[in-house]
Amino acid sequence: MHARAAGQIVTLAGKYDARLFLKKDTREADGSSILSILSLAVPNGEEIEARIVGRKAKEFMDELESLFINNFGETESRPYRPKKKVIKGFPVSPGIVIGKAYHLDRSKAQVFHRKLINEEEVQRDLARFRQAVDMAKEQIQKFKSSIPERVEGYAFVLDTHSMILDDVMLFDATLKRIQKEKINAGWALEKSVKNIHVLFKEVEDDYIGRRMDDVDGISERVLRNLAGVEAESLADIQGEVIVVAHTLSPVDIVEIDVDHVLGILTDVGGRTSHMAIMSEALDIPVIVGLERATDAILQGDILIVDGNTGEVIVNPDPKTILSYEDEIRRYANYKSAIDRVKHLPAETLDGHKITVKANIEFLEEAQVAIESGAEGIGLYRTEYLYLLKRGFPDEQTLFQDYDQIARMVAPNPVTIRTLDIASDRMESRMDGSREDNPALGLRSIRFCLKERKVFKTQLRAILRASRYGNFRLMFPMISGLEQFLEAKKVLRSVMRSLDKEGIEYDREIPVGILIEIPSAVSIADILAKHADFFSIGTNDLIQYALAIDRDNQQVAGLYDPFHPAVIKMVHQVVKAGEKEGIDVSLCGEIAGDPLSILILLSLGLEEFSMNIGAIPLVKKMIRMVPLQKVKEGFKDIISLPTSKKVEDFVLKKAKAHLPDIFEEDVFRYRTPGTA
C-alpha cells in the first residue's frame, strides 16, 4: 500500500469517533497512523483484515470498503510497485534465488543497570548468572546432539561457544564484577563483553577479529536466559522465505531448515565469521556484511539474491525478474554439472590424473575443502594464530591446531607452510622500528631465521603433529640456496631435540620450497637438487616479478597473471623440477581460474592448490581437457609477446578444440586470478 492510499485511510479515520486496526499476517497497524499502516508493507492485491472499534463502526467500515473498491481514486489501476533498489555485500555461499523477505528479530536483548543493595542480592545474581550460563551450555549441547548431517563437520564450532562460556575473561570476570561492583548479572556481563571488544579491536587479522562475533552471540544467549526470553527460532519458519537479520550465529545455521529458507542476508559479518563458513554447507545463497539490509528491506519485499556477485535487488521490476529467472536456470544447469564432478577424480579426457587441493587459512576451512572435493590441503597458511596482539602462540596451542588438521585431512596430504608474516604486523612484539617497505622487509623465512625461538617452536609443533597425518613442510619466500639450507639446518636441530626427548614424528616429512621470488626461479635448477618439492606461489611471484604491490589498489590493474614473463617463469620452474624428478605444484590464485588452468596444464603442471570455491569448476574444466592435444596445440604459448596475445591465443584455441567448454558455461562463472 502506498503513502497516498494510507493517507486517505488516516483522513477517513479522523472523521470517526472510533479506532481502526489493520492486520496483515501477524502484524497489526493503527489506522490513525500513516507510518504504522505503511510499516505493514502490503503489496497490491493482497488481503488485509480491518477491525473497527467504537461509534458508527458500520458506517466507517462501509466508507473504508468503498475506498478500497475505488482503488483509492486512482484513475487507471496501476499496480503498486515499491521502489527498486540494489544493495551489495560479501557473497559467502553462491547461488541465485527470488523470494519474499522474512525479518528475523535478532535485536539485542535490553539490559538495564541495577545496583545490588545487599549481600543477599549479590548472592542471588551470582546464582542467576551461573544458572543462565549452565542453561546456555545445555542448549548448545542439545543443538549439538541434534545437529543435521549437512553441518555435522562443524560441531566443534559449538564447542568453541561452550569454551567461551567457561573463559575467565567472560565467566570469572563477570562473577567478579557482580561481587565487587555490586551490579546486576546482565550489566556485569555486558561490561565483560565490552572489555573483550577492546582487546579484539587491536587485532588486524580478520579471522581472529571475527571470533568477537562468537563472543557476542553466546553472551546474547546468556542475556536472554537471564531475562527468561527465547529468541525466535529459524526452525519455526514456514513457507519459503529469504531470511533477513542483523546477524546470525552458528546455532542459527544448525537450526535452518533449507526447505523453508531460500537464502540468507545479514547486515554484519565477514567471510571468516563462523556463520559464513558454516553456511557454505547449506547450499543456499548467503550474503553477509550488507550493512543496512534490515533497514532497506521490509517484511514481505520481493528480493533477488545473487550469491555469486553479492548483490540483492529489492523489489525488482518484472523485466529484471524475468532476466534473473533465465539466469537462475542457467546457473542451476552449471551448478549441477560442476556438483556432479566435484567428488570425481580430476582426470583429463585422455586419462591423465591431475591433483586438485585447497588453500586454507584456518582450521575450520579444512572441512569445507574436503566437502568441496579437495584431495588434500596444498597450502595451509599458518599465520592466523600469530596475529593476536599478545605474545607468540606457545607450542601446545600450535600443536593442537596442527594435530586437528592432520587428523581431519588424513590420509590426504597437508602442505603446511611455516610462518609467513610481515614484521609490520608484529610490531608490538619486536624491538625494531616500522619498516618503510614491509613487502621487501624482514618477513616470512627471513623473520623466522632471525627469531629462531619463534621458528623452532613452530617447527616442533609441526613435527609433533606430523605423525598423526600426512604432512609436507614448506618454507616461504626462499630467495637463495643458503637460506633454504639454513632453514633445513634449524629443522634438523629441532628433530634432534625431539629425538633426545623421545618424541615421535614423521622422519620422512618432505621439505619443499614455495617458489615466489624471481631469484628462486632463476636458480630453480640448483634449488631442485636440495628440495623434495616445489610449489609455485604466483601471488607473490607476480608481485615481485612485475614490481606491482599486490595490496595497492592504484596498481591493481597492472597485476597481470598472463604476462609473458610469468608464463616463462612457471615453465622454467616446471622444467627444473622435472629434471631433478621432484614434484612441482602451483598454489597461487590463478590456479582457481579455468582459463589459466589450460595454460598451466600445457606447461606441464599436474598439481594445483586453490581457493576452495574454485575446486568444483576447476575439476570440471580438467575433465573436459584432452591433455596431450592441449600440450601440442599450446606449444607456442611461451613465445607470445604480450598478455593480451596470451589470453586471445588461449580463447581461440579453446574455441577451436574445446567447444564444450563454452557450451557448459565453464568460463562464464570464472573469477580471473588476482592476488
Active site residues: 274, 587
Look at residue 457 and give the partner it binds from ligand PEP, Mg ion, none, a contact being a CB closer than 5 to 8 Å depending on partner kind: none
> Is 361 one of the binding residues for Mg ion (CB under 5 A)?
no
Q: How far is the CB of 541 from ligand PEP (least distance, A)?
A: 6
Look at residue 588 and give the partner it binds from ligand PEP, Mg ion, none, a contact being a CB closer than 5 to 8 Å depending on partner kind: ligand PEP
> Is 383 one of the binding residues for Mg ion (CB under 5 A)?
no
Residue whose CB is less far from ligand PEP, 273 or 382: 382
Residue partners of 598: CB distance under 8 A and separation at least 6: 621, 625, 630, 634, 650, 653, 654
Contact between residue 341 and residue 616 where contact means Cβ atoms under 8 Å apart = yes
Q: How far is the CB of 379 from ligand PEP (least distance, A)?
A: 6
DSSP letter for each residue of 91-158 = EEE--EEEEEEEE---PPPP----B--SHHHHHHHHHHHHHHHHHHHHHHHHHHHT--GGGGGGHHHH
Q: What grid cell was written down for 32?
A: 490513525
Q: Which residue number has the CB closest to Mg ion?
A: 540
Residue whose CB is less far from Mg ion, 86 or 440: 440
Q: How far is the CB of 467 from Mg ion (least distance, A)?
A: 28
Q: How far is the CB of 537 from ligand PEP (least distance, A)?
A: 3
Give residues in contact with ligand PEP (CB under 6 A): 379, 381, 420, 516, 537-540, 587-588
Q: What grid cell was written down for 306?
A: 545473487
Q: Which stretch binds Mg ion (CB under 5 A): 45-53, 224-232, 379-387, 532-540?
A: 532-540
Q: How far is the CB of 281 from ligand PEP (least distance, A)?
A: 25
Look at residue 538 and give the partner it binds from ligand PEP, Mg ion, none, a contact being a CB closer than 5 to 8 Å depending on partner kind: ligand PEP
Residue whose CB is less far from ligand PEP, 372 or 585: 585
DSSP letter for each residue of 199-210 = HHHT---HHHHH
Pairing of strands 90-93, 261-266: unpaired
What is the C-alpha to C-alpha distance for residues 384 and 361, in angstroms, rounded to an integer? 7
CA dihedral 281, 283, 289, 291 (to 10 degrees): -140
Pairing of strands 261-266, 241-245: parallel
Phi/psi at 52 (5° precision): -120, 130
Q: How far is the CB of 596 from ligand PEP (least distance, A)?
A: 13
Residue partners of 600: CB distance under 8 A and separation at least 6: 570, 586, 590, 591, 608
Contact between residue 287 and residue 310 where contact means Cβ atoms under 8 Å apart = yes
Residue whose CB is less far from ligand PEP, 77 or 437: 437
Look at residue 602 and give the partner it binds from ligand PEP, Mg ion, none, a contact being a CB closer than 5 to 8 Å depending on partner kind: none
Other beta carbons less than 10 A from residue 33's beta carbon: 14
Q: Which stretch binds Mg ion (CB under 5 A): 180-188, 357-365, 490-498, 539-547?
A: 539-547
Q: What grid cell was written down for 636?
A: 607456442
Look at residue 379 and give the partner it binds from ligand PEP, Mg ion, none, a contact being a CB closer than 5 to 8 Å depending on partner kind: ligand PEP
Number of residues that bind Mg ion (CB under 5 A): 3
Say whether 347 sits in a helix, a strand or coil.
strand
Q: What grid cell was written down for 121?
A: 542480592
Residue whose CB is less far from ligand PEP, 177 or 357: 357
Residue whose CB is less far from ligand PEP, 381 or 657: 381
Angle at 464 between CA 458 and CA 470, to 5 degrees: 100
Q: Which stretch binds Mg ion (CB under 5 A): 77-85, 394-402, 533-541, 660-668?
A: 533-541
> Is 537 one of the binding residues for Mg ion (CB under 5 A)?
yes
Residue whose CB is less far from ligand PEP, 123 or 674: 674
> Is 540 one of the binding residues for Mg ion (CB under 5 A)?
yes
Residue whose entry in the numeric block shows the C-alpha cell 542471588: 124
> Is 401 one of the binding residues for Mg ion (CB under 5 A)?
no
Q: How far is the CB of 540 from ligand PEP (least distance, A)?
A: 3
Residue whose CB is less far from Mg ion, 312 or 527: 527
Residue whose CB is less far from Mg ion, 125 or 540: 540
Contact between residue 616 and residue 337 where contact means Cβ atoms under 8 Å apart = no
Residue whose CB is less far from ligand PEP, 141 or 519: 519
Q: In what order do the strands lie in the sheet with 286-288?
A: 85-88, 311-314, 302-306, 96-103, 241-245, 261-266, 286-288, 90-93
In eight-state DSSP terms, residue 240 is S
What is the C-alpha to C-alpha distance for residues 126 and 124, in angstroms, rounded to an integer? 5
HEC sequence for 281-345: HHCCCEEECCCCHHHHCCCCCEEEEECCCCEEEECCCHHHHHHHHHHHHHHHHHHHHHHHHCCCC
* Residue 34 bridge partners (DSSP): none
Site for Mg ion in 479-518 (CB under 5 A): 516
Look at residue 196 and give the partner it binds from Mg ion, ligand PEP, none, a contact being a CB closer than 5 to 8 Å depending on partner kind: none
Look at residue 315 and give the partner it binds from Mg ion, ligand PEP, none, a contact being a CB closer than 5 to 8 Å depending on partner kind: none
What is the C-alpha to C-alpha distance for residues 576 and 569, in angstroms, rounded to an integer? 11
Q: How far is the CB of 359 from ligand PEP (least distance, A)?
A: 7
Q: How far is the CB of 367 from Mg ion (least distance, A)?
A: 24
Q: How far is the CB of 307 from ligand PEP (least distance, A)?
A: 25
The candidate with the shortest Cα–Cα distance to 316, out of 82, 622, 575, 578, is: 82
What is the C-alpha to C-alpha distance for residues 361 and 381, in angstroms, rounded to an integer? 5
Q: What grid cell was written down for 673?
A: 586470478
* Interface contacts to Mg ion, rule CB under 5 A: 516, 537, 540
